[in-house]
């Protein structure tokens, strides 16, 4: 391939930023040119020292040296503040994942990106992201049917925090699991009505403080309103060593299932489309999606597109480093 190398930078260097650097290292058509951080650059340790770390305060100086900037900040406060500013300077891609605020955030990026002649691709990752695309494909292809999203097996940060707040808990994590029985009902074509809590179960792994009582802690967890009371919750007690060995990763995943019906009133046929992810590392996977879409952002802007975009606006071929002719020959 003699295509140009895409110059990419990362803004924000937590789990997502580290994952983005690792994913760029797997992409020969991309070059990481720098990492921007709000911390003192000297204090930021990269997964490898191939690029400089700059202060976020100086980012505007690098306006002409970066083809796409990958925003790796959080959705709660980082992105709403940084996104609109950076969209006026760079082509950007982010993983904004507060579903209810997407329309508002979209608008906040669209104007600066259009004025700057840049593309701002928001809410990239797996949900929102690949799951959203599969929800869309499912209902567009099988308009008569139901779509089901299940999450897990995955570490839930909010619920893990809730477990750790319980008296007597030294260390704790919580995994959300899709309910196997609910998934089988969906796959059968039955099209059941299921609440979020009917679709999921919860599993906790807890290390007790010295002297704490198992049954008291278990009871405090499984009866906790909002978090656990309405779910089928299992609590496992383990020692610190097991906890440190087996529960330091951030696995996640889930399923999008479209159960539809085709044919005529007299002769109907069930049709099922299923998409699933089993992720060893949730942040690294999200970063991998961000990096593939950074490539698409570059191509879209090169083709003259500007303004805010979502994964729904991105043709699949733009994600690949291969040419359209090569894709038709090798992958179609």
Q: How far is the CB of 59 from a second copy (least distance, A)?
A: 25
Instruction: Determine if 273 is a binding residue for a second copy (CB under 8 A).
Output: yes
Closer of 121 and 208 to a second copy (Cβ): 121
Which SS3 state, helix, strand or coil, does residue 280 take?
A: coil
292 binds a second copy (CB under 8 A): yes
Check binding of 284 to a second copy (CB under 8 A): yes
Q: Which of 31, 111, 271, 306 binds a second copy (CB under 8 A)?
A: 271
Going by C-alpha positions, the residue among 160, 180, 184, 155 that lies closest to residue 171 is 160
Query: Taking CB under 8 A as the rule, does residue 111 contact a second copy?
Result: no
Question: Which residue of 31, 111, 306, 320 would you call a contact of a second copy, by CB under 8 A?
Answer: 320
| Nearest to a second copy of 18, 218 (CB atom) | 18
| Cα distances (angstroms) measured from residue 303 to each of 91, 118, 296 | 13, 11, 10
| Contacting range for a second copy; rule: CB under 8 A; set: 21-29, 60-68, 161-169, 233-241 | 21-29
298 HSE (CA, 13 A, CB side): 24
By C-beta, is 232 or 274 nearer to a second copy?
274
135 binds a second copy (CB under 8 A): yes
Question: Site residues for a second copy, window 34-53 (CB under 8 A)?
Answer: 47-48
The reply to whether 245 sits near a second copy by the rule CB under 8 A is no
CB 55 within 8 A of CB 9: no
Asked if 313 touches a second copy (CB under 8 A), the answer is yes
- Which window, 74-82, 99-107, 150-158, 162-170, contacts a second copy (CB under 8 A)? 99-107
Residue 75 is labelled as binding a ligand: yes
Q: Using alpha carbons only, give the angle 142, 147, 150 rounded to the nearest 5 degrees.
A: 145
Nearest 5 degrees, angle CA 165-CA 100-CA 229?
35
Question: For residue 298, with 0-12 CB atoms within 10 Å meaning exposed, 13-18 middle and 19 or more buried, which class applies?
Answer: buried
Which tokens in the block code for residue 280? Answer: 């060893």
User: 32 phi and psi, to 5 degrees?
Assistant: -80, 125
Could you give the angle at which helices 78-87 and 102-116 cross, rounded to 10 degrees?
A: 20
Rule CB under 8 A: is residue 324 a binding residue for a second copy? yes
Joined together, the tokens standing for residue 309 give 């975009």
With CB under 8 A as the contact rule, the residue among 15, 111, 276, 306 that binds a second copy is 276
Tokens for 20, please give them: 């983005």
Answer for which of 84, 112, 128, 172 binds a second copy (CB under 8 A) is: 128
71 belongs to the binding site for a second copy (CB under 8 A): no
Stretch near a second copy under the rule CB under 8 A, chosen from 196-204, 223-231, 235-243, 260-268:
260-268
Site size with a second copy, rule: CB under 8 A: 71
Window 143-202: residues binding a second copy (CB under 8 A): 143-144, 187, 189
Contact 127, 254 (CB under 8 A): yes
């Amino acid at each position: 391939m003699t295509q140009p190398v895409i110059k990419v930078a990362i803004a924000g260097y937590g789990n997502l930023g580290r994952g983005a650097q690792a994913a760029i290292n797997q992409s020969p058509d991309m070059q990481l040119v720098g990492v921007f951080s709000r911390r003192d650059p000297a204090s930021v340790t990269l997964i490898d020292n191939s690029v400089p770390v700059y202060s976020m305060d100086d980012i505007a100086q690098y306006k002409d040296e970066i083809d796409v900037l990958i925003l790796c900040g959080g959705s709660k406060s980082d992105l709403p503040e940084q996104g609109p500013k950076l969209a006026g300077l760079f082509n950007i891609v982010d993983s904004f994942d507060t579903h209810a605020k997407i329309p508002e955030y979209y608008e906040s990026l669209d104007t600066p990106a259009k004025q700057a002649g840049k593309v701002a691709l928001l809410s990239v990752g797996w949900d929102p992201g690949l799951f959203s695309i599969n929800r869309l494909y499912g209902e567009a292809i099988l308009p008569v049917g139901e779509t089901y999203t299940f999450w897990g097996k995955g570490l839930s940060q909010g619920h893990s925090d809730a477990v750790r707040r319980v008296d007597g808990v030294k260390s704790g994590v919580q995994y959300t699991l899709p309910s196997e029985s609910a998934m089988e009902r969906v796959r059968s074509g039955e099209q059941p009505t299921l609440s979020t809590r009917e679709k999921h179960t919860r599993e906790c792994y807890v290390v007790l403080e010295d002297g704490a009582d198992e049954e008291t802690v278990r009871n405090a967890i499984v009866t906790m309103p909002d978090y656990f009371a309405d779910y089928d919750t299992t609590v496992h007690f383990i020692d610190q060593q097991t906890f440190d060995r087996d529960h330091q990763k951030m696995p996640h995943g889930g399923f999008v299932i479209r159960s539809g019906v085709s044919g005529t009133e007299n002769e109907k046929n069930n049709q099922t489309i299923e998409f699933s992810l089993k992720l060893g590392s949730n942040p690294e996977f999200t970063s991998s999606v961000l990096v593939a879409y950074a490539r698409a952002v570059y191509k879209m802007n090169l083709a003259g597109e500007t303004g805010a975009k979502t994964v729904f606006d991105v043709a699949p071929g733009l994600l690949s480093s291969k040419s359209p002719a090569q894709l038709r020959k090798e992958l179609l």
